[in-house]
């Protein structure tokens, strides 16, 4: 692929900042023609890990970036992402520049964000470096902006309620690049938690104002009286700290030190609605910035889901980012999700616990 024509240096720096976010890049891969491996090792000395380069019957070198996450991807870069083999960037020239000039490495797993940031800061003036930060802090800024909106806005757009439709998992084998760690999102754990709280607060808001479409989807009549207990109301006291640690080959890795309290833990749901007739609706909320088909469930949530059955509702919020533009997100309301979701054709993967007895 020919090199891209960037609209401006600022657009390029925003893209580099986004790619430097811990968790965004899954792997930067290098493939060279057979017999060219030593030439690659000399040209990119100290800029690759042991598994690279791959050798193949090719005319020239090919570099690829595989992304774990594209949620915060700048618009210019997004249009060049190849979805055929996962979220992949194919531009060899751009990747060559990232490695040689900005501290990226051919490797699986997290890049050295601190080194990348330091190199960019040395090369550009503060006014230009601000655009690197725009990309680098895109996840943080998004969470702060939408959190502030949902907390302070008195009249939020009501949602588009979509009908649930079963979507089965394809049996087709897909290419998967294993990063060797679980840092598979540009959102930090704390940001994911806070984004989840935003979704919960939005549903809490819809229940408080008695939004007709939401109540219809939940099977609650518009004139019904009910009480709403949101377990995390008033308890969103979350903090985080990114700690960089020195690991082998002088590459900095990172970890997130969690500092938060989630008051829904152990409850099996996020919101409890008590109707005037004494009946309950247990609501679990799962939220995505855009539209994403997958979500995770805890064991406690699944057990409560099985126990409550027809009294349990899962609300999936997609495209919650639309609220920032004054537009409606989408919600899918799934009653008795244990019946609808808990079979292999609906599961992407699962983790099981097996006990054992010593004889």
Domain-located, residue 283: yes
pLDDT value for 344: 83
351 lies in some domain: no
174 shares a domain with 126: no
My answer on whether 37 and 127 are in the same domain is: yes
Together in a domain, 21 and 169: no
Strand, coil or helix: 2: coil
Q: Residue 261: what pLDDT?
A: 56
Domain count, the chain: 2
Cα gap 346→49, rounded to integer Å: 37
Question: E strand or H helix at 189, and its extent?
Answer: helix 189-208
Q: What is the pLDDT of residue 263?
A: 55
d(CA 286, CA 297): 9
Question: What would the pLDDT profile of 190-231 be if each residue is shown by its tens digit?
Answer: 888 889 999 999 999 999 999 999 999 999 999 999 999 998
Residue 77: inside a domain? yes
Q: Locate 216 and state its tokens.
A: 């219809």
In the beta sheet, which residues pair with residue 32?
55
The answer to whether 132 and 120 are in contact (CB under 8 A) is: yes
- Same domain, residue pair 91 and 217: no
Residue ranges in the chain whose pLDDT is less than 70: 1-2, 169-184, 234-266
- Domain membership of residue 245 (yes or no) is no
Query: Does residue 173 form part of some domain?
Result: yes
The encoded tokens of residue 39 equal 């030439």
281 and 321 in a single domain? The answer is: yes
What is the SS3 assignment for 123? Answer: helix
CA neighbours within 13 Å on the CB side: how many for 237?
4
Contact 78, 14 (CB under 8 A): no
Q: 229 and 129 in one domain?
A: no
Nearest partner of 329 among 342, 316, 343, 312, judged by Cα: 316
Is 240 a member of any domain? no
Question: pTM for this one?
Answer: 0.79
Hey, what are 293's tokens? 């088909």
Q: What is the pLDDT of residue 245?
A: 45
Cβ atoms within 10 Å of 74's Cβ, excluding its own? 20
What residues contact 290, with CB distance under 8 A and at least 6 apart? 71, 318, 319, 321
Would 191 be classed as within a structural domain? Answer: no
Upstream peptide bond of 311 is cis (omega within 30 degrees of 0) = no
91 and 166, same domain (yes or no) = no
Residues in contact with 313: Cβ distance below 8 Å, sequence separation at least 6, in sequence order: 218, 281, 282, 283, 284, 333, 334, 335, 337
Residue 355 resides in a domain: no
- Number of DSSP helices (H) and strands (E) in the chain, helices first: 11, 12
Determine which helix (DSSP H) or strand (DSSP E) holds 283, and give its type and residue range: strand 280-287
What number of other Cβ atoms are within 10 A of residue 78's Cβ? Answer: 13
166 and 266, same domain (yes or no)? yes
Q: Which of 136, 155, 171 is the last residue of a domain?
A: 136
- In this predicted structure, what is the pLDDT of residue 53? 93
pLDDT number for residue 63: 96
Q: Supply the range of the domain harboring residue 14.
A: 9-136
Task: Classify strands 271-275 and 252-259 as parallel, antiparallel or unpaired.
Answer: unpaired
For 304, left (φ over 0), alpha (ψ -120 to 50), or beta?
alpha
Q: Are residues 125 and 162 in the same domain?
A: no
What pLDDT is recorded for position 262? 56
> Could you tell me if 65 and 90 lie in one domain?
yes
Domain check: are 109 and 178 in the same one?
Answer: no
Q: Please state, in angstroms and as integers, the Cα–Cα distance from residue 162 to each residue in 61, 71, 214, 286, 331, following that order.
A: 46, 22, 10, 15, 6
State whether 23 and 158 are in the same domain.
no
Structure confidence by residue, pLDDT tens digits, 193-202: 889 999 999 9
Residue-level pLDDT at 13: 96
| Contact yes or no for 63/29 (Cβ under 8 A) | yes
> What is residue 249's predicted lDDT score, i.e. its pLDDT?
41
Q: What is the pLDDT of residue 353?
A: 84
| Structure token pair of residue 110 | 């997290």
Tokens of 143: 């969470």
According to the model, what pLDDT value does residue 222 have?
93
């Amino acid at each position: 692929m020919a090199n891209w024509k960037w609209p401006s240096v600022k657009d390029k720096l925003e893209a580099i900042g986004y790619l430097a976010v811990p968790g965004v890049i899954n792997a930067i891969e290098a493939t060279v023609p057979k017999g060219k491996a030593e030439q690659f090792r000399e040209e990119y000395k100290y800029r690759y890990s042991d598994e690279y380069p791959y050798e193949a019957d090719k005319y020239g070198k090919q570099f690829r970036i595989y992304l774990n996450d594209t949620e915060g991807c700048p618009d210019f870069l997004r249009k060049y992402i190849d979805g055929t083999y996962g979220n992949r960037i194919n531009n060899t020239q751009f990747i060559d520049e990232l490695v040689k000039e900005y501290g990226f490495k051919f490797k699986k797993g997290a890049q050295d964000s601190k080194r990348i940031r330091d190199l960019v800061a040395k090369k550009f003036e503060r006014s230009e470096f601000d655009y690197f930060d725009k990309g680098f802090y895109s996840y943080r800024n998004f969470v702060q902006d939408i959190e502030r909106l949902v907390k302070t806005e008195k009249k939020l757009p009501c949602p588009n309620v979509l009908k649930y439709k079963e979507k089965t998992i394809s049996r087709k084998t897909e290419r998967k690049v294993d990063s060797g760690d679980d840092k598979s999102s540009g959102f930090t754990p704390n940001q994911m938690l806070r984004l989840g709280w935003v979704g919960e607060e939005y549903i809490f808001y819809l229940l408080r104002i008695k939004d007709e479409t939401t109540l219809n989807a939940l099977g609650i009549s518009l004139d019904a009286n009910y009480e709403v207990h949101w377990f995390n109301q008033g308890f969103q006291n979350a903090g985080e700290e990114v700690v960089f640690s020195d690991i082998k080959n002088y590459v900095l890795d990172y970890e997130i030190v969690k500092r938060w309290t989630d008051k829904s833990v152990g409850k099996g749901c996020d919101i409890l609605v008590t109707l005037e007739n004494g009946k309950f609706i247990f609501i679990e909320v799962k939220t995505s910035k855009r539209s994403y088909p997958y979500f995770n469930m805890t064991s406690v949530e699944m057990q409560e889901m099985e126990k409550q059955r027809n009294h349990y509702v899962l609300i999936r919020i997609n495209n919650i980012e639309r609220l920032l533009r004054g537009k409606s997100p989408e919600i899918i309301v799934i009653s008795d999700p244990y019946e609808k979701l808990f079979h292999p054709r609906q599961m992407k993967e699962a983790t099981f616990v097996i006990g054992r007895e010593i004889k």
